[in-house]
Amino acid sequence: MVNTIKALTRWKAVLLIALFSRIILFIFSLIVNHSLNSSLFDLWIHWDGPHYIDLAKFGYQPNGDTSLFIVFYPLYPFLIKLLSLLGLSFSLAAILIPTVFSIIASVLLYELTRLDFNKKTALLAVWFLNIFPTSLFLQGSYTESMFLTFSLLAVYLFRKQQPYLSGLSGLLSSVTRINGVLLLPLFVFETKTLRQLLITVILTPIGFGIYLLINYLTFHNFFYFTIPLRDHWFKELTFPWVGLSNLVHSVPPIQDPNFYIYASEIVGLIFILIMTLMVLLKVRISYGYYMFLNLLLFTSTSFILSTPRYALILFPIYIALGRIANKYILAVISVLFISLLLLATYVYTQGRWVS
């Protein structure tokens, strides 16, 4: 009980930021959609969300349109299914899970940042995570908050020299998104002993191995997911300069309604590149390499899409922003982020494409 009180006291500001941000966005979505009687499920479960719910209900299917859902990793739908067995509706579970994980991720970001920097920097990092322009996906029916939680926990535990727990967290991250595998080079840079490194490096990619096994058991092909990615989502592995060239040449005229989508992809990539340099110079070299590898992953596809949302999972961004000392710059960034976040929330909850 005493330890719980101490933890809550330590995290009071973090919890307030995280809870207040999530609640405000839920309320805002109801207000701007002109009805306080609107269902949060209708407003916050869009695009990939219904597919995750279908996976929770029916599992991976080898035939029909639902076979395309093999591109989605299994942990999130598994947790939705688990909560449904406990009596929650699938829709409630689909929103509750990311929302709860977003709060845990905020706490973990604070603790990880405190390993290197002071309380002010750590709180600013939490602040920028929760007002990031695409942070609406921390509570929408997506996996961003889950991945952030497990990746942050894996790095934190590794730096605290707890390789088994770090490896287990890494495993959970890589069964949530492929980006979990990119933690491995970070572990190499942060390693203190060979034993510590081997344990974590062996455990972390097992999550991705589980996903490949699901591919094999369902389609008799470990890499079947690459087929619907190519044929349905027009994404296949290629050199970054090919993906970047395709993106630049696909930008429509400014009067085209889709212009902002392609423009946001380019702005997002430039932003990640700038933040990668900031992380390398002002935060931690291992985190910078992690950023760079994710940037390579985002661009090594024939069809670059959802970069602003993908940027959300890059935790070093928030630590770098937290290191900014000038209060006027902090204020400008905060106003810009909040404005973009509210706009993105309005667009998303109307069922339109954001990222």
Provide the domain count of the chain: 1
Report which of 135, 124, 67 is spatially closest to residue 101, judged by C-alpha positions.
135
Distance CA 255, CA 234 (A): 25
Is residue 10 one of the residues assigned to a domain?
A: no
Within a domain: residue 265? yes
Examine residue 345 and state whether it is found in any structural domain, yes or no: yes
User: 190: closest CA among 286, 290, 112?
Assistant: 286
Backbone angles phi, psi at 103, to 5 degrees: -70, -40
pLDDT at 1 over 70: no
Q: Is residue 7 part of a domain?
A: no
Residue 274 within any structural domain of the chain:
yes
339 occurs within a structural domain = yes
| Residue 354 placed within a domain | no
Over residues 108-153, the pLDDT tens digits come to 999 999 999 999 999 999 999 999 999 999 999 999 999 999 999 9
Identify which has the larger pLDDT, 236 or 8: 236
Residues 50-68 have pLDDT tens digits of 999 999 999 999 998 899 9
185 within domain boundaries: yes
- pLDDT number for residue 2: 56
If you average pLDDT over every residue of the chain, what do you get? 94
Confidence of residue 3 (pLDDT cuts 50, 70, 90): low
What are 175-226's pLDDT values in tens digits?
999 999 999 999 999 998 888 899 999 999 999 999 999 999 999 999 999 9
Q: Model pTM? A: 0.95
> In the chain, what percentage of residues exceed pLDDT 90?
86
**pLDDT confidence band for 35 (50 / 70 / 90):** low
**pLDDT > 70: percent of the chain:** 98
Of 354, 211, 333, the closest CA to residue 278 belongs to 333
Q: Tell me, what's the pLDDT at 342?
A: 97
pLDDT tens per residue, range 226-247: 999 999 988 999 999 999 999 9
Q: Which domain holds residue 115?
A: 17-349
Q: In the structure, what pLDDT confidence band is assigned to residue 36 with cuts at 50, 70 and 90?
A: low
What is the CA angle 5-152-311, rounded to 5?
Answer: 125
